[in-house]
Chain A
């Protein structure tokens, strides 16, 4: 009874702001709702179009490819970058390490819009952009970064955000490894690199898996920074699935088709979630300590 008093409000809010929108989306996916907001059910038409069965959507293969490249770029950057930097920072002296980690935490502490525009401004194609400004001071011609390397820039911007979280998680996990273990390895003849490779990284197994799962799901759904930096362009080159769904619904006002794109994303999310929960075991994931000692 007492429990429901406390959990009641949050359950209500979750229902209101989570389940109801999901349900609405699922319903709208079977309509051809547009800016007139008419509910007209058209059965599976949206999905047939999406999968290229009838009047196929020519952008879909490209969007899929973009999404895969985007996730395949950001995820390793986040995990390996975070791992590398946390190991590096834990080797620095305490004050230095803390300073170093704080710097990498900045992206998470500032508002997304600022972070997005920081990147957009840095890689701006005219000499008013940061890097082109430097280039023109050195007498070099400007480079149209966002036209030449849009995907790389988008991956870096999101990867750094990922790193700022994964590095924090990995650092605290490393800090909780007993010193005796790394000392034992050293006395056994291990170099620093060998201690890292054979002792520290294996002990970070759970934090690494958790961060991988978390960021996989986060990157599959992310679009905010891409929208802010490239807007999905130039000409669909950085348009990932969720951004495409957003554009379809809110720029072209094709709510029905946009909802069906979102539905696919929801299904992908559910599948990913199940895979993650299966491999980790739910209880282990939320109930276990950070490192295996």
Chain B
């Protein structure tokens, strides 16, 4: 078990700031997800931690040891690449055992250890096959077995589930989470899929254009997003974001949109750091909308059944809002309805900077 510390980590490709001033502490045994849209610098971060890229600035520590200049082969890291990168000319057994053979482990021992890890990952019956003869899911397990076989201190996973079909992905999500806890290896997991990050990780790091947006547990990110980007990125369906203004009256804070207005409850007012003069963004999660009661009028624009729930898109003035409601409500297209929302659960962001107006918890 090893702690990893990133201090002001920067990696540039000419003008592109792929990683820009990343500060992060990854606890021993933690399962950390690096989450962000395509091109935000996730792979670059991982490759820099692995030692393939030299940081242009900043430091990487493994426990207390500065490893900036340590070559990848001496870092004792296991890594699963986005492409799996299995050696095409070796069979599964030789692929898995490759790290051990390089360490000159005697044959009887490397064989036993490779078979042991293959059994753990349920690929023991594939040992004679070449990578070209395996399905995506099998290749992924072989890659994982190869990464784990020499008991690395740190495991780096670059979108290991993205090449799998939906069903297998959900299955492997659980398997991987379980395996990580069982082995207790500090793990950094890269993904652009927020559900994957939410379901698997102890903590999530949200990146955008090489910059850290927020770090926290899945709940923290969901309940108190630090900015508009995180708010819109985390959660399915995504949060409704509406332009609004705050009017300060005598002891009363009123939020006004183009279609409705409401007073902020005391507990929210207490959280607000400041009131920006140039307007705010109001965020309401789809599940916080209440349909059928309230004083806002709207029209049902479209209904998308999701089984247990329905996703209802409402038109209200010039706004569109998504609401997640129980299916039994039986809402029809173009129904005129009234709705409201849980005012104590709204989010407010500075319109200019996108940052949350709430004090950090």
Contacts and interface: CB of A to CB of B under 8 A. Distances in A.
Interface of A: 178, 180-181, 183-191, 194, 198-199, 202-203, 205, 292-293
B88 A203 contact: yes
A271 B164 CA distance: 49
Contacts of A184: 79, 81, 85-87, 146
Contacts of A181: 85, 87
Contacts of B102: 188-190, 194
Contacts of A186: 52, 71-73
Nearest to B130: A292
A184 B75 CA distance: 13
B167 interface: no
A185 B146 CA distance: 11
A180 B72 CA distance: 13
B78 interface: yes
Contacts of B50: 183, 187
A292 B86 CA distance: 12
Nearest to A182: B85
A144 B255 CA distance: 100
Contacts of B75: 187
A292 B89 contact: yes
Given A183-B79, A187-B50, 7 more contacts: A183-B47, A185-B87, A185-B98, A187-B73, A187-B77, A189-B73, A189-B103
A179 B79 CA distance: 14
B83 A178 contact: yes
A183 B77 CA distance: 12
Contacts of B322: none
A187 B83 contact: no
Contacts of A183: 47, 50, 52, 72, 79, 81, 85
Contact of A189 (B52, B85, B99): B99
Contacts of A203: 88-89
Contacts of A191: 73
Interface in B36-59: 47, 50, 52
A205 B79 contact: no
B150 interface: yes
Nearest to A184: B85
A85 B73 CA distance: 25
8 contacts: A180-B85, A183-B47, A183-B52, A184-B85, A187-B50, A188-B146, A189-B150, A202-B89
A293 B88 CA distance: 6
B89 A205 contact: yes
Contacts of B81: 180, 183-184
Interface in B88-114: 88-89, 98-99, 102-103
Sorted nearest first, the 8 A-B pairs with minimum C-beta distance are A180-B85, A184-B85, A188-B99, A189-B102, A202-B89, A180-B81, A187-B79, A186-B72
B73 A190 contact: yes
Size band of the B side of the interface?
20 to 34
Contacts of B83: 178, 180
A91 B73 CA distance: 17
Contacts of B99: 188-189
A199 B52 contact: no
Contacts of B98: 185, 188, 190, 198
Contacts of A292: 88-89
Contacts of B78: 187
A178, A188, A194, A202 pick with most chain B CB within 10 angstroms: A188
Contacts of A180: 81-83, 85
Nearest to B50: A187
A201 to B, nearest CB: 10
A112 to B, nearest CB: 38
A64 B85 CA distance: 48
A191 B72 CA distance: 10
Interface in B129-150: 146, 150
B145 to A, nearest CB: 12
A184 B77 CA distance: 10
A181 B90 CA distance: 12
A96 B72 CA distance: 25
Interface string B263-279: 00000000000000000
B21 to A, nearest CB: 25
Nearest to B81: A180
A176 to B, nearest CB: 13
A178 B85 contact: yes
A184 B98 CA distance: 10
A194 B71 CA distance: 14
A14 to B, nearest CB: 38
Nearest to B143: A184
Nearest to B94: A198
Interface string B19-42: 000000000000000000000000
A284 to B, nearest CB: 15
Given A180-B81, A194-B102, A187 B87 contact: no
A180 B88 CA distance: 12
Nearest to B52: A183
